[in-house]
Amino acid sequence: MGGTLAVKRQLRLYLAYGLGDAGTGLAATVLGFYLFPFFTEVAGLSAGLAGAMLMVIKVWDALSDPLIGWLSDRTHTAWGARLPWIAGAAVPLGLCFAAMWWVPHGTPGQRLGYYSVMAVLLMTAYTAMNLPYSALPSELSSSASVRTHLNAARFTGSLMAGFLGLTMAFSLV
C-alpha cells in the first residue's frame, strides 16, 4: 500500500512539474513562430529592423541568462532560492507577452523603440521565471533518475503546450 501511494505521489509530481513549464513553452513557441511576421506584416517594421531587433533580443538573453542564474543561486529566502523568482516573474511575463502583440500609434521608429523595450522586459521576465524553474529538479530530489523524469515531464509539457499554441494560432489566422 505504501509503495502505491509513493508511486501516485511521484506521478503527481511529474505531472505538476510538466504542466509548470507549459506556459513558458507556449510563449516561446508562439514568439518564435509569429513575432517576426507580426513585426513586418502587422506592426509595419521593415524586415531589416525587425531582424536586427530580434538579434539584439537574443544577445540580451545570452547576457541575462548567466546573471539571473547567478542571482538565483544566491537567493536565500524562506521560500527557497527558486520560488521567489518564479512567482515574481509570472505576472510580468504574462503582461509583457500580451504587450508584444499591441501595435502602438506612431512612426515605425517609435514602434521599434516600444518593441525593443518590451522585448527586453519580456526576455528578462522569461529568464527570471524559466531559469530558476529549470533548476528545481536538483532541489526536489537527489536521485538522478527522479531528476531525469522531472526534466522529461517538463519538456513534454512544454512541447505539448507549444504544439497546442501553434495549432490554435493557425486556426485563428
Within a domain: 112: yes
The answer to whether position 75 is within a domain reads: yes
Inside any domain, residue 111: yes
- Give how many domains the chain has, as a whole number: 1
pLDDT digits (tens, 9 = 90+) for 10-69: 889 999 999 999 988 888 988 988 899 999 999 999 999 999 999 989 999 999 999 999
pLDDT over 70 percentage in the chain: 95
Residue 49 lies in a domain: yes
Is 5 inside a domain boundary?
Answer: no
- Domain membership of residue 14 (yes or no) is no
Closest to 129 measured CA to CA, from 100, 109, 104, 158: 158
Nearest to 119 by CA among 153, 138, 96: 96
Asked whether residue 57 is domain-assigned, the answer is yes
Torsion sign (Cα): 108, 114, 120, 125: negative
Model confidence over 64-107: pLDDT tens digits? 999 999 999 999 999 999 999 999 999 999 999 999 999 999 99
In a domain, 9, yes or no: no
Q: What pTM did the predictor assign? A: 0.88
Q: What is the mean predicted confidence (pLDDT) over 127-148?
A: 92
Q: Please check the confidence at residue 115 and state whether its pLDDT lies above 60.
A: yes
Give the structural domain span for 50.
22-172
